[in-house]
Structure 1
Amino acid sequence: MTTFRSGCPITSSLDIVGDKWTLVILRSMAMGATSFAELIALPEKIATNILASRLGRMEETGLIVCDQAGQGRRRGVYRLTRKGADLLPVVQALARWGETHLPDRWTVPEKFRDMTSEQLIG
């Protein structure tokens, strides 16, 4: 269960998504990653225990759901909920900011740039 530091909507939102990995996982799921194996293979090199923890917390806070396919959480199929998909514009804005202000970063894929929240939960 998430503990909120204050009643401020910005602070409370950061209490849910402000860690090092949640928005990276959301980005990757928006781009099509649906399994633990796909998420662990990200170029950012998230540790397996951290990924498992973040996925559990994201499920607990209603950002994603896991449809179990086989035994164990690592074999499940993850998908964004409406609540998770509604963060897409936030992640896209961070990507645009990074492209503009951080030299020598990857180019944001056009598919991601043009994506809408509706496409993610369609």
Structure 2
Amino acid sequence: MKKYLPACPVEITLQMIGDKWKFLILRELISGKKRFGELSKSIENISQKMLSQNLKSMEEEGLVHRESYAQVPPKVEYSLTELGMTLRPILVSLFEWGNMYKEYNKKESKHE
């Protein structure tokens, strides 16, 4: 079943990754494979349920790959797909903008 996609490309992007948790998951996976526990520890205040739901959604959308290893204890790793990696420039831009805003905010608070 095909997913409804809005006509506007910006709206499509926001529909896929506009959630705060998805951005933070992308931030963590951009550097390589991570296990569930690693993601949970590195994303502050995310519940295991929310992390699990977002990973599943991102996997269904083709952004995240889930690799299960047949071993005891079970081992699962998450990584970005080729499609997911195309979001890297967006994440870099957001990082740079956030740093710029942080500096701007420091300057503004000195003038008060």
The bucket for the TM-score relative to the shorter chain is 0.7 to 0.9
Structure-2 residue corresponding to 1:39: 39
Counterpart CA distance in 2 for 1:62 and 1:91 is 17
Q: Does 1:68 align with 2:71?
A: no
The answer as to whether partners of 1:63 and 1:81 remain within 8 angstroms in 2 is: yes
RMSD (Å), alpha carbons? 1.9
Larger radius of gyration: 2
Deviation at 1:31, TM superposition (A): 2.5
Structure-1 residue corresponding to 2:59: 59
Structure-2 residue corresponding to 1:83: 83
TM-score (norm 1): 0.74
Counterpart CA distance in 1 for 2:65 and 2:53 is 14
Deviation at 1:70, TM superposition (A): 4.3
Structure-1 residue corresponding to 2:108: none
The answer as to whether partners of 1:63 and 1:83 remain within 8 angstroms in 2 is: yes
Counterpart CA distance in 1 for 2:62 and 2:83 is 7
Give the secondary structure class of the aligned counterpart of 1:68: strand
- Higher percent of residues as strand: 2
Q: Measured at CA, do residues 33 and 41 of structure 1 come closer, stay the same or move farther in structure 2, by a change above 3 Å?
A: farther
In structure 1, stretches of 5+ residues that fail to align are 104-122
Deviation at 1:2, TM superposition (A): 4.6
Q: Measured at CA, do residues 29 and 10 of structure 1 come closer, stay the same or move farther in structure 2, by a change above 3 Å?
A: same
**Taking every aligned residue pair, what percent have the same amino acid on both sides?**
33
In structure 2, stretches of 5+ residues that fail to align are 104-112
The answer as to whether partners of 2:33 and 2:77 remain within 8 angstroms in 1 is: no
Give the secondary structure class of the aligned counterpart of 2:20: coil
Deviation at 1:43, TM superposition (A): 4.6
Deviation at 1:91, TM superposition (A): 0.4
Deviation at 1:75, TM superposition (A): 3.5
Q: Does 1:99 align with 2:99?
A: yes
